[in-house]
Every structure is written in C-alpha cells, then in structure tokens.
Structure 1
Amino acid sequence: MRARAALQLLSAANFVAAISFLPVAAFAQADTTTAVPIQAFYSAPPNSSTSGTTYSRDVNINATTRAGTVTAPRTLTYTQTEYTPNPTAFRTACAEISSSYASRLSVYSSRVATDPDTIYPTRVPVRPREAWDCLYSIPLDRDLTLEFISGVAKYLQFQSTIEYLKNPPANSLQDPIDIIGSLEKLADQVRSGEIAHHIRFENAFRKLLQRCHDGHLGFTFNSASLVTFRGPFSLISISPDAVEKPKVYVETDLMENGLNASYITRIDGYEVEAWLAEFADFGSSQSPDARYNAVFANRDPGSDGTFYSLYGWYPGKNTISLTYANASTHEYDYRAYARWNSALNWTGIRTGSDFYQKVVLNPAYFQVSSSDEEGVVEAAPAPEPTSNENVYHVHDKKKVRKRQMRTGIATTTTSTRPSPTSTIPQLVYFNYPYMQHRVGPYVQDLNGIIGGYFLNDTLDTAVLDISSFSADDDDAEFQLAGFQAALSTFFAEARRRGSKKLILDVRGNGGGLVALGFELYKQLFPSAPAHSFYRIRAHEAAEIFATAAEQIASDKATEELVELIESVGIENVDGDAYPEALEVALAISSGFSRQNTLDVDGKKPEDLETFIGPYNVSGLVNDTVSLLVETDLNFPLQETDVSGFGTRANFTSTPQPFKKEDILFLSDGTCASTCTIFAELLKREQANISTVVMGGRPNDGPSAHVGGTHGSRVLTYANLLRNSRRVVSLFPPETDEQEQYLINNIPLALPFGFLYGAINFRDAIRPEDETATPLQFALEPADCRLYFSPIGFTDSVYLWGELSKLKWGTGSSFEGCAVGGLQKGEGSTGFVPDDPETVEIVNYILQPLRSP
C-alpha cells in the first residue's frame, strides 16, 4: 500500500478539529534517546577470543613522496590487548564508583552550610578499568535490544546516503557500508549470544554509524552521561616550516621546549602515524585528512583533540606507551571519570542492573524542543532570528571551546556601537575595550559567532574568523540579526579603510544555521545568485510525512498563513492565538512540504506528486528520491530575512566589498554542513576563489579543503518522532490494518534513553552533475596545502599575515606550499594534483573496530 493511498484511508477530518495531539497505543512508549561509550581500541581479530595471542601478516605500505610513490613490504605484528573483566571485578565496580561519588558529594555538601555559592563538581576520577568493569556489568535484555534494532532502522531509512554508502564512488575515500544489512547482522549477534553484554551492543551500534563518516549521522547513549574516558594529554602535529612533513608532539612538551622537544615515534609499539591514522578513522569527517587533524589539539578554534577525548571509548587498559625520537619510552595513565548532572546521577546505582534500570532505560534526555520548529512554536516577544529552514546544521553536537582572543595590546580608538533598545540588545561590538588583541579594530556579533580583523601591517588585509555558523549557547537569541549586523559593520569599515584583500578563516567550522551561510555569501556578493540544491530519500515513511504535510499546508492554507504573517508579523504567530496557523507553519518547516521550495527553474513544485515523486536514481544506486529543489529564501517563515531576499531584497544593489580574486578561503578540512553550503556557493557561483588547507596526514599529497559532512540538513530523532505523532494525532487510523501500516513504516519511540540522535536528511546536489551524486562523496583538493608550524599553530594573526604575503605580496616566511600553489594576485587556476592512491597504513592493527 503506497503512502498517499494509505493516508487517504485515514480520517479526513479537518486537522483543525483534531489539533490536540491524541495518544495512540503504538506511540505510548516513553520518549527516549541514546548515549555513548566505550570499546577497546585494540581487540582480537574476528572470530578470536584468545587473550595474548599474537597474529602477523605481510602487507605493503605505500609511502608517497614528492618523487612518487614507493612500496615497501613490511610485516606487521598485532597482539590482542583487549581487557575482559572477571566476574568478581565487574560485579562490584558500580558500587565502588557510586561510593566514590557519594563521598565526593558529601564533602561539598558540608561546605554548603557555610558557603551557599559552593559549586558541586560534575565528575569524580576513577580508574578506567573500574569504569569499564561497571559498564561491562550492565545486563543485556535481548528482547528490548532487538526491539531497539528494529525501531532504529525506521529512523535510519531517512538517512539520505544510505544506498550510496553500500557502493560509494571510488574517489570518495569512503569504505562501503550497508547500514541496514549491518543492523541485521547485529541483531543476529544478539540472538545468538555472540553479543552478551549491553555495553558491547552500544559500542557495536555506535561504530557502525561512525564508519559512515557523516557528522549528521550519530547516536549517543545515556551511558556517556555517567562515564567518560580520556587520554593522558593532547597531541599536536607540527612542521618546522609549514612545508616539511610534520612530527607528532605532546602539546605541553612543544609549548615548553619548542622544536627542541623530542617528538613521538611510536605509540604502544606501532609507528605513530600508523596508530593515529587508524585511530582517526572513527572521526566524523569524510576526508581522512580532516579526521587526522581532529586527533590533535587546536588553538583556533579551541579543541583538545580526539586523542584526549578518546571518542568516549574505553581504551582497553589503564596506560598507554609512547616512544620518543630520543629512544626513551614512557608509560602514561589513561583517565576515566564518573559524571553526573541534574537528570542522571549515581545515586542508588550499586549493580549493573541498577545502571540498566536507572540510566539505560531513562528517557530524561529526550529532546523536547525540535530544531525544525524553532521560531514558530512559541515566538519570542522580541525578534528571534531563525533560518528559513528553522534548523541547525551541525558537524558535531559536542561543545568546543570558543576561539581564543588574540593576545596583545588593547586598542584605544573610539567605540562605535549601535544603541540597544528595550527589545533589541546590542547586536555588534566594534572595537570594544574588553577585546584584547593587537591587530586594530575588531568586529564581533553579540553571540561571538564571527570576528572581523584588519591586518594593518600586512597589505591592508581583512580577516573574517568564522569558527561556526551558530552560537555556542543553545539558547542564544538574535543569531541572524547579530551576524547580519556584524558583517555589515565589518564590510563598511573595510571600505572606509580601503582594505582590498580578504581571508575567510573557516577552520573548525562544523556548521550551524543555514541562513547564516547564505547571509555571509550574499554580503560578499550582493548581486550574485545564491542557489543550493538538495533532495531527500522518497521511501514509504517520507511519503507518509509528505502526504500529511500536503494536507495540512495546502496551497490555500499556506496563502492564508502568509497573509496572517504579513498582517500581524511572524513574532505574533504563536500557538495560543493562532493554533491552525501554527500547525501549517510547522508542516511547512518540517522539510516534507513543497510550500517553501523551488525547482531548478525557480518555480514551486505544482503538487505533491511533482515534489515527492518518487524518482528513480538512474545508473548508480537502487534508490528513489524526491525532486531536486532548493529553499525559497523569499518565503516569510522567519523573523529576519537574509540579505537580498524578502524585506531586504534591495540589498542586491549594495557594492561588492571584495573582488573574488582578492579572497582567500582558509580551512583545516573540517568545514561541514552549513559551512559546506557556503563553500559550495563560492565554488559554483564564484569560481576560482583560492583555497588553502592546513594540516592533515603527513603524506605530502593534496588534501580537501571541504572535508566534513556535505549534507544540507540534519534531522534529529526527536524531529522524526514528532512527525510520526503529528500524523497519528491529526489523521488517526480508523482500522487495525491502517494502524499496523503506520507501525510498520514510521518511526516510533525507542526503548533505550539517549542523549542525541540524528540523520542526514538532505543530499546536496549539483544540478549540472548528470550522475546527481551527493556532494558528501565529492572530495576536492585545495589549491595549496600547508602544515602547522609552531607559530602558525599558536598565533592565528601570524598565520593570516604570512598567508596574505604568500598570496598577494612578498616576504612570507612560507617558501611555498607543501602541495600545490597560490597564483600571485590572481584567482585559483582550478588545477591541483590528483589525490594520491589511498594507502592502508595499518588497517590490520584495529581492523575489528571497522565491523560491528
């Protein structure tokens, strides 16, 4: 039964009459979600369980040099080191941790009597093996686990790349992965007893998703709230001159001793680059160089790196061994912490069974708010800017430290700032005294999303430092308004100063609000078109949601909503005053409606069949998809219009602030999500803007400047479950057959609690690409690749200045690029060397992590 026919059998009652969400038995499970840890980095090869067994194989290791690629045979030896707790240890571990937790809190509780401002700690250090013992003691409920696997597959069917991942394009550097097939194998392992511990199941499922290298696709179990694992310190990868291949250092060693510090040659007996390349393979970026960069600490933006964070996994033992160039070998302790917060804590947890009941099954973290519905559910009294999509695009939901302020002397010129009113706060800080730096006036929006610099001593170069397209604070307001105002202030100041060159620094930019990416592009190129095309998978559940959206947000209902917005303002369209209008707005912003989309000819799809299709993808994959469309940025479902659209349509006559040949795009390859949308706008509409990528694997090959997820919209599991509930409440099934049809196809509540879960909903597509391959699988190398030198790592102002001189002037300390080159005073030629053959350095070392 096809989706539209099925929904037509459902109640056709006016959705206004059914506006209250009615409970349905199939949806009565508690709202739940998911969490993380742990798996040994080392484990036995498949079908092996003998501790201490040594395995060997002969492999060829390809080394790429400037003279070409040489192949040297080498024998790699691997010894199983995974730790399996004995029953006595893991039966008492949770009680020991709980006691440590209670003891630590009692100390702070006694202080509250004399100091009411006492801040409780959020973690207690424990031994890594003790933490793993506790997690290992969590029992596995076979029936609930199989229910989870069956249920989560209904969410994963919305993953836009699911069919492409089975047989990815050869140049994508993506290993093949059958998500649904792997889930079925995982279910078989649970049924057979091969997976007999709940934490083993969590790790296997999480690793399955990580193998897709898609920052929009992920799942985090509740376990991560109570147990985290950490490395002993952070590492950094440093070249002496930004051109020579880098060495790996302990961060504190290099900071204290400079290049006199001894670099690392081996980790646990394996060559350092080999160990790190395999460790990095679980990163979320599509580019292996971007994943490699993520291993290391970064000063701009601030990050400790995944060698320190360990992806939250148990490292398999308590210590790690590092061998240095001076031939010394040292053993360092891994770390683990028992954590807690207002929703989950260790109180009453004495056994693994307690942990299972109080944590694994706890739905406390289910996300009540939906990024889809932000800005239209309950509008704020003051303008609260959102994107037209009302959705966040993030590479990784984990917080990172904000970019650190540049150190130096505070500026003393007069501050020119907009005056705040009673309803609108100060949106821009311009040359504000608390911002300590040495490079002249500094412009920043109120949420600290971007910073604008002027390098007065370097060819009149301006810099936009864009570490994200959203605020760190999830509750931040005025994001688009502040971003928009800060850009306008910055470009006005650039014109006043006569600045002719611009560096766009997007290092570490994992995405954010789509509207901010469009805003930056339109302020850079006011009169240029801004097209970004996408499509979704048109499977059964997507068709159900699209059909429901069509019935709710019909052409007539949408026209009435637009008239209402124009008469009362979007900020006044809230659920209490206009419940019918609110429901239409939610349907339009859900992603399953054609009402705010345009086809490649710039027209709204005329009906549901035209929009959702489904259309067969020809030649490459066996899949059905929607029509190729883009977002109509003139649609009024937002509180602040993007420049060049809607109420700001006249912005197109604004002078362009910089010539495109005078713009340099700087990245570390981790540019993802909204950042890739912005980068694609530059590439498609403004060809030949020069690009530089920093860091990556020490192979002297070209590297992608845009290497994160290229998906153009993320949907959380909360979004999808809310769509299911809306369908059932507004169009309740009238027969058992209809109810079973919905149960079999649409996402339902899951049995395990989780912190966060999401899929990539939309593929970004170039309409001129005859194969219509998602951009997720396109890795295009930068014009110039450089490594981090010590000063380039610690001082972004220095890095910007040297890049400016390399591109537009003389006297740069960089003799050239490690790979490729920049055309003096011109745009990119668009030519870079082909990506060298991908080499498996030591896939054997951690091969078990590649399979569930």
Structure 2
Amino acid sequence: MRGISTLVAAVGVLAACTEAAVVRRTTSTSPSSTTVQAVKATSTASSGSSSACAAVSETLGSDGDSTTPILPSDALACLQSVPLDVKRSSDFIDFIEPYIQFQSTLAYLENPPIGWTLPGVDVLGGLAEIQNNVENGTYQSQWDFEVDLYALVNIFPHDFHFNLPMPLISVFEFQTIEGSLVSVSKDGLSVPDVYFKFDLDWEYLVGGLNWTPSPLVSINGVDIADYLQYITQTTSDYQDPDAIYNQAFSSLAFDYNPFASRGSGSAFVIGGHAYGFSDDSYTYKFANGTTRVFDNIATTSIDFTDIATGQDLFDAVDLPPTEHATSSAAASSITAAPSTTAAASTTAAAASSSPTVSSLAGYPSPIVIHPDGYTSGYFLPNSTIAVLAMQGFVDEFETDENAAFFQQQTIKIFLAAARKAGMTKLIVDLQNNGGGDIFNGFDAFKQLFPTLDPFGASRIRATPEANYFGTIFSAAGVYNTTVNTVYQSQSSLDVNDHAFNSWSAEDPPVTIYGDNFTQELRYNFSDIVTESGTGGINVTGYLSNANPPPQLFSSEDMVILYDGSCGSTCAVFSELMKSQGGVRSIALGGRPQLGPMQGVAGSKGAQVYTYGNIAQVASFLPDALDILKSKGIAAPPLPPAEFIIDIEDPFPLGDTQKLAAGARFNLRNNMHDGDATQTPLQFVYEAANCKLFYTAKDQYEIAGLWQRVSNVAWGGAKCVEGSTVTSDNTFPAGAYDTVPFGQSAYSTVEQPYQPGLIAQKSDV
C-alpha cells in the first residue's frame, strides 16, 4: 500500500478524504467542510442586501474568482430576478427556428418508434408554446424562459449533437462538494451499490485503517438510484437510461487525461443540478445508519463587480456584446470570424495547458500512446491479448491540428507492434468515447478490416432550404478543395457507390416517417476533395494509403468495450465494426438492475453542424447565383420564410460568436445497410451482447477490468444475468445475438411537463 504522503502527492485528495471519512463516521449533523464554512461566512455578510444578485456580488467581493463558493439559494434567486425581455425572447425564437429545421430527427422525436427508451419531444411545437408563453405573460422571469428553451433543445431530444447555449444557464455552476460517486458491484455480476469515491480511496489507496466503506442509500429521503436517475435524465443529452445513469459517476476512462478540465467526471458533482438546488444543504443517509448533512455551492466565472440587480445580470450576459453599455465592439453577424486576437489567445491557452501525455492514471504502461492521450495501446501480461483504448476521435481541447494524423499513426504503430509480438486477441475499449473526426472513425475501422468497403451511409433532412441550397450549388458546379458543400450532388455517392448526376437524383426527396430526406449518401474516400476535409490524413485503403497491411485480428478474436457514452463518430465506427466486421461487444455499468444494456447511447447521429457551419454554406449563395445567371439557368424559388436562416444580423440574445459555434444540430441520420424500415440508427434499440458491472478495483486500475472482459469473451466467464441470449449467461457467438427491446429498457423517471415534452411510450 502507498503511504499517506505518497497519496497526497499522487492523488491530492487526502484532505478531502479525511474530512469525508471523519464526518461519515460520526452522527453529528453540522457540516465541517472549510468550503462550507467560507460560504456561511460570506452569506452572513451579505444577508442584509435587498437583491440576490447584490448578495452574490458581495460574496465574491473584489477578490472573488471562479472557485469562490456562493450560496445556491442566492445564485438561484439572482437568476430568477432577471426580468423577462419579451421582445428579445420572442425574436430569439424566430431567429433560431430556421436553424432548428435542419435537425434530422424532428419527426422521429415527435413520435418515437418502439425501441426509444425515453419520452418524446415535439421540438417545433415546443418552440411555438414557449413563444406563446413569452407573449402572454406566463413566464415570470427571463430565467423561466431560458430554462424551458434550454431543456427543449438540449435535453429532451437526448441527442448531444443538438445544442443551444442559453446565456443565463451558464452563469452559475451548481455543485455538490463531497466528491464524486461510483457505482460498484462486489463481483461485477451482482447489482451494484453507490459509494462516495473518497470512502473507497481509504480502503484501496491507503489501507490498514480498519475502515469499511458504507453505501449511500438516499439523499433527502429519496432512494439514491431514483435520485441519480432523475437528476441525470433531466440534465443529460444521452439517449438511454443506463448510459445516462453512468454519467452520475466517475471512472478511470472519464479522467484519462491528466491535463484535461473534466474534473471529477461526475454529473452528481457538477452538471446534474444545472437548474439549481432545492436547498443549500442536503441530507445523506448511508447503509450503516449514518446520516450526514452536506452543503451545496454555486460558482461563477462572471464578473459581478457591477451587477447588483437582475437587470444588471441581463445586460451583462443576455444583451449581445455590441449593446453592452461599456462595449465598443463592432456589430457582428453569424458568419463573421472571431476576433483574431481572442481566437489566438484561446488556442494558445488551450495548447499550453495540454502538454504531451505519456501515460494515463490507472492504466498500465502503454506500448504506444497518442501525444494527446486519447488513443493508446497495451498488451496484457502473460497473454496474447492486446487492448486498443480510444477515449475519442479528436483531442480533448480540439486544438491539435495534427491530432488526426497522430491517431492514425498511433493505431498503425500499435497494430504493427501487436503483429510482431504475436498478439492473437484484441479488446477495443471505447469507454468515454464521445466521437470526434468522422474520418478517423472510418480510418480506425479500415486499419482493423482493410479489405472491407465501409458502408457508412446517412440521410440529411430535405427541408425547402436544403433543397434550395442543393439545387443552386449542384447546378453551379463549383466543387474543389476551397469551395464545396454537403448540399451538392458532387459531394456524395449513392448507396451503390455511384455518383449522383443531379441534385434531384440525390434529393427527390424521399418521404420517410412523414418527413422528407435525401437518398442514402456515402462518402467517396477516393475523392481528393472529400479527403481534403479529413484533418490531414488519407483514410487507410485510399489514395496515398491504398496498400495497408493485412488484417491482424479476426472478428471472433475482437471485442468492443462500452460504457454507454459512445456517440457521433464512435457510433459510426461501432456500426461498421458490428454490421460489417461482425465484432461483439460488452457494456459496463448502467442502472442497478439485471438484464441488457445498450453500449452506444451518446448520439448515434452521423454528423453534427454548428449554426456557423450552415451560415457559411448560405454565404456561398451570392457567388453561386451569379454562376447560374452566367449559365442562363434560372434560380429556384425561395423557400418559405420559416426555413430561411438569417446570416446577417446578430442573435437577439447572447454572444453571436459563441452561439454560432456552440449552437448545433444533427445533420445526418446514421443508416443501417439493408434496413427495410429505413429507421435511423438513433431510434434502433441495440443491446450489447453482454453486460458487466464495475467493481471497486476498476476505479483504480483498469487492467483487471480488461482481464475480466477477456475471460468473458474467450474464457467462458459469465455476464450479468439476463444480459445475454444464452441460457447460462455466457458470451454469445454472433454480433447480432443480443437481447431484444423489452420493458426493462424504458426509463422509470417521471418528468414534470415542460413545453414540447411528450409522454414516454410503454409498448414493446
């Protein structure tokens, strides 16, 4: 066991561990955290203020920073005191609706197919209801309006490609302060309990203290599992209850990068209470009978020096920067480039905070590792089992211009080393892989299956605006490495890898599920224009990489490991690995119940676009229309007004440049080859072949987890009861040997009504 001084140096949690352990051993109910004491001291000083925002300002004082604790009740009252700006809020709805029309899943969300495990949402209907609430006086504050709109776009669709940052939502971060939680099983097969990780640290990092961790059983009298499921489902953009539940906890994979800003990796600590707390302190009960009261806090990075009222806060964050009383900035449109100085300083700051990663905490010494840490390779000792760990398909800060090349090379070097060392089995660990560069996903698949032609087809919602773009750009015919768009027939191949001869051939349109879509579209990896957008790589098997090494591992000798967070590019990669590669999978964690779990549940959409991306496409129209005129081709009629995006004016609320980059929609639906129902994979239930629960040791060293996975995949060890199709709970033989959708897959959370929310189905 490591000594206490070593623990302080290596983990930096001893003080927090000490306090957490001491308070849980006693029955006293007075919080002993120095952070809490600081909060109480500042709140006393500000208790005479008439305004909650003034109280926040006094708490922060002249020396306050983003770590200064604020009473959550003061923070929430400050937000609730912001007066509603009826005109700006109504105009904001009108401004964003044409952008939201590009979201590819609107029809499916409004009436989810069987297999969707959560409530549905009528996004466009919700927008109309929110706008009506703004105009008829239903909302009492700007905060009420922004909470409803934020939930409608960011949460209810459960698609992390669908985002709309709202200014007030990001003013405060509401946090618990007792550290992250973990969900662990005694043997990886029995239903897990919830613990404070600091309690486990005493047993697994220190030891010899006669210390027995006790599970947490309730918060404020609510069963702990029910509590965590509620706070995560109402704040998470993941699309499956088990994946959502996993977000409440920390894990080694989540904290893989020692230089990243992810913190504890626990929505219980930060993120799960986005709308504030019901009280400044909560009561925690443990299985050993101990009851503790722990305080909550809020923090902010906003300068509150000149903020004393709700109106002041509105002026500071909701007014576009050009309209601030102290602003001298020039007016900005959605297509305007960010300030060169600001962009450069942001990039430099991110780059300087992300030095080369040589190893990952809790992981063995790697055979090879990406300089940014998110791709690494390992050999299990005394075996011929290799592990390829990929926590993403892009670097943590998305600032490394060489990240795509390094990932391609890391995988290539790893496979060469595995071949030389005689490795015969491969675990592909995709825990905490939220996607990234789409072409790196295709490349990883091609390195593992060099003889297969990746299908990877998708459909785009064929709105009148999309059809307008496609007709003009296809007819203009400009398609090169400088000017090209997704909305032109030259940029895609059909399902049989043939070129489209016109936009009308690509977008007839095809009517599916009551909505219009393009034909299925595939990438042309032999096209130099397509490859120019691949982050500096040619996908393995094409162009300069046309002759890759032969396949090393057979399908039955590979297994994929998930924790439910796989999405975006990870979902595309996973579909290729399963449907074409025939690779089986194991999912980890999930709700405390037996039975199956989905492994891919972040966003299964195939590509995301920002509002800035689509605005840039629209900015090409004048030149394209000039080309049509020179060719004597008549321009198509304009689409209806509700589909035409405004790229000239700033957003009516907030910082236009931040919103242009942060507001996003899912552009492409991910499609399965040969599916007669033509259902996007986002709405297809796909359980992993097996489920395992985390154990306590998995929180400290990952090699043991990989060994358990190996024992299940190739050694006959058991899966969680009911998570496989085999009668003895062993690993099945085929990638599609999975437990079908059933009642247990549905969420059990009951959400209060908000605009757009549709009651969850119960059919199977």
In the superposition, the TM-score normalised over structure 1's length comes to 0.71
2:528 is the alignment partner of 1:636: yes
2:267 is the alignment partner of 1:306: yes
CA contact (8 A) 1:264 1:272 kept: yes
CA contact (8 A) 2:241 2:746 kept: no
- Specify the alignment match of 1:774 in structure 2: 680
Shift in Å, 1:819: 2.7
Cα deviation per residue 1:285-305 (whole Å; 9 max; x = unaligned)? 211110111111222121521
296 and 369 in structure 1: CA distance in 2 versus 1, 3 angstrom threshold: farther
- Taking the TM superposition and a 5 Å limit, the aligned residue runs for 1:93-104 are 93-104=52-63
Distance 2:334 2:314 in 1: 26
- Specify the alignment match of 1:790 in structure 2: 696
Distance 2:69 2:738 in 1: 49
- Specify the alignment match of 1:53 in structure 2: none
Match of 1:702, SS state, is coil
CA contact (8 A) 1:691 1:828 kept: no
Shift in Å, 1:143: 1.3
Shift in Å, 1:515: 0.9
CA contact (8 A) 2:146 2:169 kept: no
Distance 2:244 2:460 in 1: 26
Distance 2:49 2:559 in 1: 55
The counterpart of 1:710, out of the listed 601, 604, 611, is 604
- Specify the alignment match of 2:171 in structure 1: 226
- Taking the TM superposition and a 5 Å limit, the aligned residue runs for 1:625-664 are 625-637=517-529, 638=532, 639-651=536-548, 654-664=549-559
2:158 is the alignment partner of 1:213: yes
- Specify the alignment match of 1:412 in structure 2: none
804 and 270 in structure 1: CA distance in 2 versus 1, 3 angstrom threshold: same
The counterpart of 1:502, out of the listed 426, 433, 449, is 426
Cα deviation per residue 1:168-192 (whole Å; 9 max; x = unaligned)? 1112213221111111111121122
Paired residue total: 654
- Which deviates further from its counterpart, 295-304 or 818-827? 818-827
- Specify the alignment match of 1:752 in structure 2: 653
Cα deviation per residue 1:722-753 (whole Å; 9 max; x = unaligned)? 3334335764999xx99996754322242111
- Specify the alignment match of 1:9 in structure 2: none
Distance 2:83 2:713 in 1: 60
The counterpart of 1:352, out of the listed 310, 313, 333, is 310
- Specify the alignment match of 1:260 in structure 2: 212
2:87 is the alignment partner of 1:136: no
- Which deviates further from its counterpart, 783-792 or 820-829? 820-829
The counterpart of 2:486, out of the listed 562, 570, 591, is 591
Shift in Å, 1:699: 1.5
Cα deviation per residue 1:683-714 (whole Å; 9 max; x = unaligned)? 12112x22110000112011112122110010
CA contact (8 A) 2:252 2:361 kept: no
Q: Which amino acid aligns with 2:268?
A: F
- Which deviates further from its counterpart, 320-329 or 519-528? 320-329
CA contact (8 A) 2:712 2:731 kept: no
- Specify the alignment match of 2:442 in structure 1: 518
Distance 1:486 1:722 in 2: 33
842 and 851 in structure 1: CA distance in 2 versus 1, 3 angstrom threshold: farther
- Specify the alignment match of 1:45 in structure 2: none
Distance 1:123 1:729 in 2: 50
Q: Which amino acid aligns with 1:164?
A: Y
Cα deviation per residue 1:471-503 (whole Å; 9 max; x = unaligned)? 012221212211111111111110111011110
Shift in Å, 1:512: 0.2
The counterpart of 2:466, out of the listed 517, 533, 542, is 542
- Taking the TM superposition and a 5 Å limit, the aligned residue runs for 1:347-426 are 347-363=305-321
Distance 1:665 1:817 in 2: 19
Match of 2:613, SS state, is helix
The counterpart of 1:92, out of the listed 37, 51, 62, is 51
- Specify the alignment match of 1:413 in structure 2: none
- Specify the alignment match of 2:497 in structure 1: 602
CA contact (8 A) 1:266 1:322 kept: yes
Q: Which amino acid aligns with 2:595?
A: G
Q: Which amino acid aligns with 2:599?
A: H
Cα deviation per residue 1:641-689 (whole Å; 9 max; x = unaligned)? 11101221222xx2111111110110011110100100000112112x2
Cα deviation per residue 1:133-177 (whole Å; 9 max; x = unaligned)? 211121111111111112211111111000111111112213221
- Specify the alignment match of 1:409 in structure 2: none
- Which deviates further from its counterpart, 697-706 or 168-177? 168-177
CA contact (8 A) 1:290 1:707 kept: yes
Shift in Å, 1:842: 5.9
- Specify the alignment match of 2:400 in structure 1: 476
Shift in Å, 1:817: 6.2
- Specify the alignment match of 1:420 in structure 2: none
In the superposition, the TM-score normalised over structure 2's length comes to 0.79
CA contact (8 A) 2:306 2:312 kept: yes
Shift in Å, 1:204: 0.7
Shift in Å, 1:721: 2.6
Distance 2:622 2:88 in 1: 24
The counterpart of 1:836, out of the listed 727, 735, 742, is 742
Distance 1:742 1:492 in 2: 56
Cα deviation per residue 1:169-226 (whole Å; 9 max; x = unaligned)? 1122132211111111111211221112111111111111211111101112233443
2:243 is the alignment partner of 1:290: yes
Q: Which amino acid aligns with 1:609?
A: S
- Specify the alignment match of 2:617 in structure 1: 723
2:290 is the alignment partner of 1:316: no
Shift in Å, 1:825: 9.8
The counterpart of 1:692, out of the listed 586, 599, 606, is 586
Q: Which amino acid aligns with 1:793?
A: Q
436 and 299 in structure 1: CA distance in 2 versus 1, 3 angstrom threshold: closer
Q: Which amino acid aligns with 1:308?
A: V
719 and 183 in structure 1: CA distance in 2 versus 1, 3 angstrom threshold: same
Q: Which amino acid aligns with 1:339?
A: S
Cα deviation per residue 1:792-828 (whole Å; 9 max; x = unaligned)? 2321111112222332247x7x787673269989843
Distance 1:310 1:627 in 2: 38
Q: Which blocks of at least 5 consecutive residues in structure 2 are unaligned? A: 1-46, 205-210, 256-263, 323-328, 339-343, 345-349, 630-634, 758-764
Distance 1:90 1:198 in 2: 22
Shift in Å, 1:349: 2.1
CA contact (8 A) 1:711 1:760 kept: yes
Distance 1:630 1:446 in 2: 31
The counterpart of 2:574, out of the listed 641, 664, 679, is 679
Shift in Å, 1:346: 3.0
Q: CA RMSD in A?
A: 3.4
Q: Which amino acid aligns with 1:630?
A: R
Match of 1:245, SS state, is coil
The counterpart of 1:178, out of the listed 110, 122, 125, is 122
658 and 160 in structure 1: CA distance in 2 versus 1, 3 angstrom threshold: same
829 and 536 in structure 1: CA distance in 2 versus 1, 3 angstrom threshold: closer
Q: Which amino acid aligns with 1:533?
A: A
Match of 1:124, SS state, is coil
Distance 1:545 1:815 in 2: 50
The counterpart of 2:723, out of the listed 808, 813, 819, is 819
Match of 2:453, SS state, is coil
CA contact (8 A) 2:567 2:603 kept: yes
